[in-house]
Amino acid sequence: MELARLEKAEELEKSMSSKTPFFKAFGPLLFGRPAERTMAKLGCVNSLQELYEIFGHLLPERLLAPTDKGVNSRERLFSTQVTFWAFAAQILSPGTACLEIVRRVEAWWQERAGTGAAPRSSTSAYCQARARLEPTALELIRAEIAWSLERNVLGEEHWLGGRPVKIVDGTGISMPDTPANQELWPQSSEQEAGCGFPAMKLVGLFSLASGALLATATGNKHGHESTLFRTLWGKLQKGDIVLADRGFSSYATLAGLQQQRGVDSVMRLHQMRKADFRSGRRLGPEDRLVIWQKPKRTDAWSESEFAALPEALSLRLIRLRVAAPGFRTKSVVLVTTLLDPVAYPAEQLRELYGQRWQVELHFQQIKTHLAMDVLRCKSPELIEREVLMHQIAYNLVRSLMQRSAHGHHVPLSRLSFKGALDTLRHWSTLIAAAESTPRQQQKLIEQMLALIAGNPVPERPGRSEPRAKKRRGKNYQLLTKPRHEMGNLPRRNRPKTKQPKTSLT
């Protein structure tokens, strides 16, 4: 599957021309072939230029250029470029309806053309244009932005000044309840038919230093997260360190990453494997060097793949005591392939695993602040594109945060994703309005970056935030069967209260 995608990507790159500047070709692509007088008034301006002015340098122009043949070769109102930036603007402003994006393009036409009525379009045309976006091109754009973030990571931002750390974790995503979505991503078996929603399982690979989302793998409830993670091994490089929770911790994963990819691991010990700190060789307080023997093969590995793994594996067990208030777990056992206690002290490894929580914050940012928790498209083809566009939008905001952190000497981990997103939304229009004065435009961009860096997240060591909700939900009855079979229901499911008895005295 991955090989086919790569071959398709190479064909796509060959079919795309990068000789024509983006803005120069933009006018005829957006509006077909209007009169020359109208085009002279329109100039070479993107309908959603505010995003391009800030992020355009991150995207290879050839990936959004028209193709020589196929569906993206025709001159349309919603060309590939317009559709991409419109889709990105919609993701960066959660809750924006498709009709609002269409009206935005129409308003731009009216403002720039000055004469004549704006071309009328519909949400159907915009949705069809989103379906024409090539997933392979979107994946290449996502990868290009992510690796540009990685290239800009400073040496001191890596762990111990030199080892890149990648965090892996999984999450769930919901989407509209349509037959096509249910077939590919079936709902939980505990829910009645017609009462649940399709559920996608997504495994993401993040960079600890930059926060970039490097790669993802998706599946349904029948696949385990560790199996999805194996499809991402090709995104890891020799010398990387994988930081993961116990769901990914197994003999095959630890051995396979080290032997096949030259990648070390720091993971929490799986709950089914007992930690014996009396065996092995003592390296320090609650730090043991142990040897694991090769277990029986599981169905997740083929016979040839499992036979290639070593018969024994030297590992290191480290106990982590959790004394912070609000944490349910008080003792955690770590397993790692970093065996040298001098080069990799146990205390440094304990602190490194504490940073694994960053991946939970990254998923919160992309699912809550960018609203990927509940997708909106109703077909698997559009769902695939919507997920990719969420990842691109997330990496665009992370690139803005990185520029701000490096330019103003602020730790990247102290910057607020939500703050950067809000600042981007309010300043992008002002930056686009200064297109005719490049120096003023660059000055505005620097002011925006200074604002992002000037509002760091306060340090709150030992903060306790229990996972509990204060605001009560509405007391409506739950849907236990399809809505058309529920019949008439009371407006509220309030329990009947008995009136207290009164006695005559």
Residues 169 and 285 in one domain: yes
Q: What average pLDDT values come out for the chain (505 residues) when binned by 10 residues? A: 50 40 32 34 44 81 77 73 89 91 78 58 86 93 94 92 93 95 91 89 96 96 92 95 95 95 96 89 94 89 91 95 66 95 95 93 95 94 96 96 95 95 90 84 92 89 73 81 75 56 51
The whole-model pTM stands at 0.84
How much is the pLDDT for 59? 83
Residues 279 and 197 in one domain: yes
Number of domain units in the chain: 2
d(CA 354, CA 388): 29
Q: Which residue has the tokens 């230029």?
A: 49
Residue 401 lies in a domain: no
The pair of three-digit structure tokens given for residue 347, joined into one six-digit string: 């205390």
Print burial letters for 160-198: b (CB count within 10 Å at least 16), e (below 16): eeebbbbbbbbbebbbbeeeebbebbebeeeeeeeebbb
Residues 282 and 195 in one domain: yes
Residues 295 and 189 in one domain: yes
Pairing of strands 241-244, 264-268: parallel
Task: Give the count of beta carbons closer than 10 Å to the beta carbon of residue 464.
Answer: 9
Task: Give the count of beta carbons closer than 10 Å to the beta carbon of residue 69.
Answer: 9
Residue 317 lies in a domain: yes
Residues 176 and 100 in one domain: no
Residues 113 and 169 in one domain: no
| Rg, the chain, Cα only | 27
Residue 335 lies in a domain: yes
Q: Which of 369, 384, 411 is the last residue of a domain?
A: 369
Residues 17 and 73 in one domain: yes
Strand order in the sheet with 281-284: 213-219, 199-207, 165-174, 241-244, 264-268, 331-336, 312-321, 287-293, 281-284
The pair of three-digit structure tokens given for residue 334, joined into one six-digit string: 């770590």
Q: Which of 133, 168, 192 is the last residue of a domain?
A: 133
Residue 406 lies in a domain: no
d(CA 22, CA 229): 37
Residues 251 and 351 in one domain: yes
Residue 123 lies in a domain: yes
How much is the pLDDT for 495? 54
Which CATH number is 343's domain given? Answer: 3.90.350.10
Residues 166 and 125 in one domain: no
Residue 54 lies in a domain: yes
Q: State which residues form the domain around 70.
A: 2-133
d(CA 369, CA 373): 9
* Helix (H/G/I), strand (E/B), else coil: 446: helix
Residue 283 lies in a domain: yes
Residue 21 in contact with residue 62, Cβ under 8 Å? no
Residues 93 and 181 in one domain: no
Q: Which is nearest to 132 in space by CA: 478, 381, 344, 494?
A: 381
Q: Which residue has the tokens 């116990």?
A: 246
49 φ/ψ angles, rounded to the nearest 5 degrees: -65, -25
- Give me the amino acid identity at 294: K
How much is the pLDDT for 80? 86
Residue 295 lies in a domain: yes
Q: Which of 317, 335, 369 is the last residue of a domain?
A: 369
Residues 365 and 324 in one domain: yes
How much is the pLDDT for 26? 31
Measured in whole angstroms, the distance separating CA 44 from the mean position of its chain's CA atoms is 32
Q: What is the DSSP letter of 332?
A: E
* Helix (H/G/I), strand (E/B), else coil: 399: helix
**Across-strand partners of 199?**
174
Residues 80 and 8 in one domain: yes
